[in-house]
Structure 1
Amino acid sequence: MAVATQTMTDEQRKSVALEYLKAFDNAGTTSTGGSILDLFAEDAQVMFPKWGLATGKKEIGQLFTDIGGTLTSIQHHYSEFTWIFSGSDLVVAEGTSHGEHRDGPWRAGVPEWGAGRWCDVFEIRDFLIQRCFIYLDPDYAGRDTARYPWLSQD
């Protein structure tokens, strides 16, 4: 990771994280028409469940291509986000979403145990995402129920 050279406020870090989430909702295009990858440092890391750890823009691009290829649409619910700031470079966003996966639709809370609730832990320095670890259930359409007795009792 690069040495920090620009001081950032929590609100500035939040704005970078929001730009990332909005770009994800906009098929990888930022509000200025750029690529979502422009928001990342060259040596950034992104972790996505069931994909693993991507290091560097090339691997992050592959991760987003792989994940994005399974989604028809996604919409994060910005007004419902919870933000946590650490007083350093870390920003945590917790929220909900809905959308359409190739296996079917999802909406947070429908069913209550299903996909749509997520938490992202960002490390943001110099107006770039250095690290984004994504915590969610990647079974968007809720089809993986047989392995969980409490879900397959119906």
Structure 2
Amino acid sequence: MTEQPLKEKRIDVVKTFYAKLDQADASLLDLFTEDVELFFPKFGTAQGKSSLGELGKRFALEIDKIQHIQDAFRFLSDGDTLVLEGQMRGVMQNGDRWPTSQAGRHHFCTVFEFDELLIKRLSIYLDPDFNLEDKKRVNNYQQGVKTQENKT
């Protein structure tokens, strides 16, 4: 398979992953190699499909619903690596919605490494303080900062 069609198929795999993730569809595990390597902030690095399931269980303790905004996805590709910059929103188990108007948008970045059309490495970079419970740091970083959302 030539590089461009392979890249497009891998982008489709990533979009399928997020669609299944948003629906809490366990068949998303079929998109990964058995020995997938996973990184997520505060969770650390783990290996194997069971680590994805464990992270999903921990997410479910806090998050009721999540939606990745696929219209806002931006992809960069280099060889077997695909990087996604995106935005998401959701609802916590206590009913709080995020992002809040105070926080604007909730951005994330994920690095995918592929073995053909299976994901063999998934490194997710985001702030897991979805509903801004870490008030001390939120206040520290927002003091005097004018964001695009605050200017309008």
- Give yes or no for TM over 0.5: yes
Residue 148 of structure 1 deviates from its aligned partner by: 5.1
1:44-85 Cα shifts (integer Å, max 9, x gaps):
011111111120011221112112332110111111111101
- What's the counterpart of residue 138 of structure 1? 128
1:58 has 2:50 as partner = yes
Q: Measured at CA, do residues 150 and 92 of structure 1 come closer, stay the same or move farther in structure 2, by a change above 3 Å?
A: same
- What's the counterpart of residue 110 of structure 2? 120
SS of aligned partner of 1:146: helix
Alpha-carbon contact 1:115-1:139 (below 8 Å) kept: no
Distance 1:115 1:101 in 2: 16
TM-score normalised by the chain length of structure 2 = 0.82
Residue 110 of structure 1 deviates from its aligned partner by: 2.9
Identify the structure with the greater helix proportion. Answer: 2
Aligned CA-pair RMSD: 2.4
Q: Tell me the number of residue pairs that the alignment of Structure 1 and Structure 2 aligns.
A: 141
- What's the counterpart of residue 18 of structure 2? 21
Residue 115 of structure 1 deviates from its aligned partner by: 6.5
Alpha-carbon contact 2:132-2:138 (below 8 Å) kept: no
Distance 2:117 2:137 in 1: 42
Gaps of 5+ in 2: 144-152
Gaps of 5+ in 1: 1-6, 30-34
TM-score normalised by the chain length of structure 1 = 0.81
1:10 to 2, 7, 10: 7
Give, as a single letter, the amino acid of the residue that structure 2 aligns with 1:98: R
Instruction: Choose between structure 1 and 2 for higher RCO, CA contacts under 8 A separated by at least 6 residues.
Output: 1
Distance 1:36 1:102 in 2: 22
Identity of aligned residues (%): 35
